[in-house]
Amino acid sequence: MEAAYCALCKRGYADLRMQDIADESDRSTAALHYHFDTKHDLLVAFLEYLLDRLQSRLDAAAVDDPVERVHRFLDVMFSPPRGDPVDAREDFHTAILEIRAQAPYDEAYRERLAAFDHYNRSVLQEAFEEGVEAGAFDPSLDQEDTATFVVNAIRGAHTSQASLGQSPRAIERVLRAYVESLRTDARGELADPASATDVEGEGSG
């Protein structure tokens, strides 16, 4: 799976061959074909591996405080996993964008991408729900819609990073300020965007 990751970053999706993945690993293409009939099967398994990895990272980043948990979620979405080179992220998002563009025609891809989407939205929705309950987030907040909104803003950022080479930093900055503006104690004055990137330990529940 790590070999698939490296091969996708280097070759992209359309041109990827089983040979490229074998070249990045210590296995032969025959060994790969023993487990996966086609490149498509391997990539479906790769998407499942990515979701597992994301779940592990989000579990490791989770904290009790719901506001801080949303910021940790953004940390995970906007930074590469430990050990991955930052340079590879744009190439990786390019490959994922290619798979995403195939999803309307490919039910197996679509199901796995929908599982990602569902998982991300549920993590955020739960944090918003707990935050509202604890009095940390504004009670009028639509928790489900807001979770969907945040996930899609991140998706837009990754899409622009891949297709236009744009940095996602502006979007990350505004998202963090947005999350701060949803806090109960942001009522009466808008959150200061400058402080929004450093909220460690600002529990308000």
Residues lying near a copy of itself in the complex (CB under 8 A): 12, 94, 97-98, 100-101, 103-105, 110, 113-114, 117, 138, 140, 142, 144-146, 148-149, 151-157, 159-160, 162-166, 170-171, 173-175, 178, 181, 187-190, 192-193
Q: Provide the token pair at 99.
A: 């798979």
Residue 33 or 110: the one with the smaller Cβ distance to a copy of itself is 110
Shortest distance, position 82 Cβ to a copy of itself, whole Å: 25
Residue 60 or 190: the one with the smaller Cβ distance to a copy of itself is 190
Residue 25 or 90: the one with the smaller Cβ distance to a copy of itself is 90
Contact 84, 155 (CB under 8 A): no
Q: Provide the token pair at 170.
A: 């502006």
Shortest distance, position 103 Cβ to a copy of itself, whole Å: 4
Instruction: State how far the alpha carbon of 31 is from the alpha carbons of 1, 43, 166, in Å.
Output: 13, 16, 38
Nearest-angstrom CA–CA distance, 205 and 135: 6
Shortest distance, position 169 Cβ to a copy of itself, whole Å: 9
Q: Which helix (H) or strand (E) holds 205?
A: none
Shortest distance, position 30 Cβ to a copy of itself, whole Å: 30
The DSSP code for 80 is: P
